[in-house]
Amino acid sequence: MRLLFAALTLAAFAAPSVARDRTPAATPAGVPQSCIPLASIRETHVRDDRTIDFITSGKVAYRNTLPFACPSLGFEERFSYATSLSQLCSTDTITVLYSGAALSPGATCGLGQFQPVTLARN
């Protein structure tokens, strides 16, 4: 029983370092933007509960660091958004999508500024 407890405790402390390894270093490459055009977003990479990298058609990467952690975002690695504009802005929110028999909505969280970055190669 003690070995099981020790293994679980060790796993709990090891988990945060695994999450950090998923987030490549990013060097700022310009002035933060309040909005980016929806039509230019080609892919997104959820790095953890607070970090999403948006990659545009011009291969420009924008790192969005949410003002607060968004529960389960890093685990689920999927989200939705709704906007009436042709842009995604720091005033918009995202909703975590939980997997299961069907996708279901989870926490809704606010976005931060879109910081143009150069991502480190892993």
For 36-51, what is each residue's pLDDT tens digit? 999 999 999 999 999 9
Q: Across the chain, how many H-helices and E-strands are there? A: 2, 10
| 80-122 residue pLDDT tens | 999 989 999 999 999 999 998 899 999 999 999 999 999 988 6
**Partner residues linked to 89 by β-bridges:** 35
Whether the Cβ atoms of residue 63 and residue 48 lie closer than 8 Å to each other: no
